[in-house]
Chains A and B, each alone.
Chain A
Amino acid sequence: MAYLELNNVSKDFGGTPVLKDINLSVEKGEFVAIVGFSGAGKTTLISLIAGLLKPSSGFIKLNDLEITEPGPDRGIVFQNYSLLPWLSVFENILLAVEAVNPNWSADKCSGHVEKYIAMVNLTPARDKKPGELSGGMRQRVSVARALAMEPQILLLDEPLSALDALTRATLQDEISRIRSETNKTVLLITNDPDEGIYLADRIIPLTAGPNATLGPSFKIEIPRPRDRKSINHDGHFKQLRREIVEFMLGSKSERHTAITRKLILPDIEPEDLNVPRTMTAWRKTPIRKHEQKEESVEVEP
């Protein structure tokens, strides 16, 4: 029995489904990366797992319990940090710790918070407000907050895509280190195949939306700890990256967009004089047989 299980999950917002027939199972302690185009529905997928959205059909189970609402058993790191700007780093994390452990003493709570601030190397900034921190530091706070809740699974929603390349590399190493220290189950959503391959045990591409669905799962057999410099020359890494990129580009080019437009043909046929003329101003039927036509046009993107 898988730890996190998505079974035929579809989601639409009252039109074409954004996500269709998503099947995913993540084992306990596994690090899975999902890589997809922007706009493919990655954030929708994580919102479903977080319980912020409800699937239109199918079900999601965590530890054999169906997910129906948001809860602190799933720690989320949002793409835009989602820190409360009027609270300091310490208070932001404390709010989460107190909410999850209502019967802890104040000392125990603050000790717990300090531990996670130290884990993301932010002790010097503990009393700063999020507005005074750089993007990378804010994301560390967000990671610390998610970890401090001691969730069963950590959901990372494009956590590094708003950061510059150098900060991103540092934070990737940090995530890798934290994950090896805590052995948490992690689901990472990203738009960067390299990031996914570098961090995860398994990487699954999400096809382009609408009707996005998960592609085949690629197992990453690069031994840990992985080295950023040598990984670029690793044959397995290169092959994986090629396969994933090819799969994703392939899924995009298969897509056709059908549009329907109304065609008004010129009057070629003479009027049918056998049809009796009525005096009403609005004609119910066209006098000429082929005044209007509809045509469906297939357009290659």
Chain B
Amino acid sequence: MKTFKFDWLVLPLIGVAAVLILWQVSCATWAHDLPTPAKTWESSKPYVMEPFAKRGEMDQGILRFTWYSLILVAKGYALALIIGTPIGFFLGLSKTFTKIFDPLIQVLRPVSPLAWLPLGLVLFTSAGKNASELGALFTIAICSMWPTVMNTAVGVRAIPQDYLNVAKVLKLSRSKTLFKVLIPATLPYMFTGFRLSLGIAWLVIVAAEMLTGRPGVGGFLWQEYNALIYEHIILCIVTIGVVGFILDRLMSVVERKFKTA
């Protein structure tokens, strides 16, 4: 019990303390515009203590902002899964499909969200008021799709021949083969892809909100930078990090459930 607390509580706290000291020292020596930890806490207090307050469009509690961001991420992420999983299946099942689209995917995969967003905005200019949301969704979907696509394709290719033989001998119909054999056999790989995709979707949100100026953690961060309130930048960074960590943990719990099955 003692070692448990030491390992899981004391040691990480030492790490946090070390960073805080480094931060304090940096403020005092060379980074004069960087707010000190104490000042950051002072300034962030209203946002943290009243996390759901709404004082204005760009002046809301931090959890309210987080909620906006999460909703946008959820939509974009859902879109990525809905598009990415079937593409992954086709890549895994058909050699011709792979030869046609794999080079394209390899080229598009490393493109940064910052590069996609302007294209997204251009694509949806006809949507008027909704253009920024649709553009952001497009960016999140297209950036976070690739891990799902690649992992699903690998998973489908890795299905043991034995399972396919069973399907062949039983003469299962196409849909039965898909739902009873292919999908269950690929699930562990798919969930690894889903988890990586969620990480990227959350990464993209900040960029998308910054450029579109939507209310959310990322938008708040950029607005406070322009308003010279640097304390809130740090608050946003910490929030983004913690939320991303929690999302990853949740996904890995789900993933583990499917791995044992």
Please give the residue numbers on chain A whose beta carbons come within 8 Å of chain B beta carbons, in ascending order: 50, 52, 69-72, 74, 76, 78, 80, 82, 84, 86-87, 95-96, 99-100, 149
Residue of B nearest to A79 (CB): B162
Within the complex, what minimum Cβ distance (angstroms) separates B179 from chain A?
Answer: 11
Taking a contact as CB atoms under 8 Å apart, the answer to whether A82 and B165 are in contact is yes
Taking a contact as CB atoms under 8 Å apart, the answer to whether B184 and A86 are in contact is yes
Taking a contact as CB atoms under 8 Å apart, the answer to whether A84 and B181 are in contact is yes
Given contacts A84-B180, A84-B181, contact A96 B170 (CB under 8 A): yes
Taking a contact as CB atoms under 8 Å apart, the answer to whether B163 and A100 are in contact is no
Instruction: Specify which chain B residues have a CB less than 8 angstroms from the CB of A72 in the assembled complex.
Output: 169-171
Within the complex, what minimum Cβ distance (angstroms) separates B97 from chain A?
Answer: 24
Interface check B166, CB cutoff 8 A: yes
Taking a contact as CB atoms under 8 Å apart, the answer to whether A99 and B176 are in contact is yes
- Kindly supply a per-residue 1/0 record for chain B positions 178-215, scoring 1 wherever the CB is within 8 Å of any chain A CB and 0 otherwise: 00110011010000000000000000000000000000
Instruction: Specify which chain B residues have a CB less than 8 angstroms from the CB of A84 in the assembled complex.
Output: 163, 166, 180-181, 184-185
Within the complex, what minimum Cβ distance (angstroms) separates B92 from chain A?
Answer: 18
CB-CB nearest 10 A-B residue pairs: A82-B162, A99-B170, A86-B184, A70-B168, A70-B169, A82-B166, A86-B261, A99-B172, A96-B170, A76-B169
Instruction: Specify which chain A residues have a CB less than 8 angstroms from the CB of B163 in the assembled complex.
Output: 82, 84
Given contacts A84-B180, A84-B181, A84-B184, contact A100 B165 (CB under 8 A): no
* Alpha-carbon distance between A52 and B162 when the two chains are bound, in angstroms: 11
What DSSP secondary structure best describes chain B's contact surface? helix
Instruction: Specify which chain A residues have a CB less than 8 angstroms from the CB of B187 in the assembled complex.
Output: 86
Taking a contact as CB atoms under 8 Å apart, the answer to whether B169 and A50 are in contact is yes
* Alpha-carbon distance between A80 and B166 when the two chains are bound, in angstroms: 12
Within the complex, what minimum Cβ distance (angstroms) separates A243 from chain B?
Answer: 35
* Alpha-carbon distance between A52 and B170 when the two chains are bound, in angstroms: 12
Residue of A nearest to B176 (CB): A99
Count B interface residues, CB 8 Å.
16
* Alpha-carbon distance between A96 and B181 when the two chains are bound, in angstroms: 12
Instruction: Specify which chain A residues have a CB less than 8 angstroms from the CB of B165 in the assembled complex.
Output: 52, 70, 78, 82
**Could you show 28 A-B contacts with beta carbons less than 8 Å apart?**
A52-B169, A69-B168, A70-B165, A70-B169, A71-B169, A72-B169, A72-B171, A74-B169, A76-B169, A80-B162, A82-B162, A82-B163, A82-B165, A82-B166, A84-B166, A84-B180, A84-B181, A86-B184, A86-B187, A86-B261, A87-B180, A95-B170, A95-B172, A95-B180, A96-B170, A99-B170, A99-B176, A100-B170
Taking a contact as CB atoms under 8 Å apart, the answer to whether B184 and A71 are in contact is no
* Alpha-carbon distance between A99 and B176 when the two chains are bound, in angstroms: 9
* Alpha-carbon distance between A220 and B68 when the two chains are bound, in angstroms: 79
* Alpha-carbon distance between A71 and B169 when the two chains are bound, in angstroms: 5
Supply 10 further A-B pairs (C-beta < 8 A) apart from A72-B170, A82-B163, A84-B185. Answer: A70-B165, A71-B171, A72-B169, A74-B169, A80-B162, A87-B184, A95-B170, A95-B172, A99-B170, A99-B172
Instruction: Specify which chain A residues have a CB less than 8 angstroms from the CB of B176 in the assembled complex.
Output: 99
* Alpha-carbon distance between A179 and B206 when the two chains are bound, in angstroms: 68
Instruction: Specify which chain B residues have a CB less than 8 angstroms from the CB of A70 in the assembled complex.
Output: 165, 168-169, 171
Taking a contact as CB atoms under 8 Å apart, the answer to whether A99 and B171 are in contact is yes
* Alpha-carbon distance between A95 and B181 when the two chains are bound, in angstroms: 10
Instruction: Specify which chain B residues have a CB less than 8 angstroms from the CB of A76 in the assembled complex.
Output: 169
* Alpha-carbon distance between A84 and B171 when the two chains are bound, in angstroms: 15
* Alpha-carbon distance between A157 and B165 when the two chains are bound, in angstroms: 13
Within the complex, what minimum Cβ distance (angstroms) separates B183 from chain A?
Answer: 10
Instruction: Specify which chain B residues have a CB less than 8 angstroms from the CB of A100 in the assembled complex.
Output: 170
Within the complex, what minimum Cβ distance (angstroms) separates B80 from chain A?
Answer: 25
Instruction: Specify which chain B residues have a CB less than 8 angstroms from the CB of A69 in the assembled complex.
Output: 168
Within the complex, what minimum Cβ distance (angstroms) separates B164 from chain A?
Answer: 9
Residue of B nearest to A146 (CB): B169
Instruction: Specify which chain A residues have a CB less than 8 angstroms from the CB of B172 in the assembled complex.
Output: 95, 99
Instruction: Specify which chain A residues have a CB less than 8 angstroms from the CB of B169 in the assembled complex.
Output: 50, 52, 70-72, 74, 76
* Alpha-carbon distance between A100 and B169 when the two chains are bound, in angstroms: 10
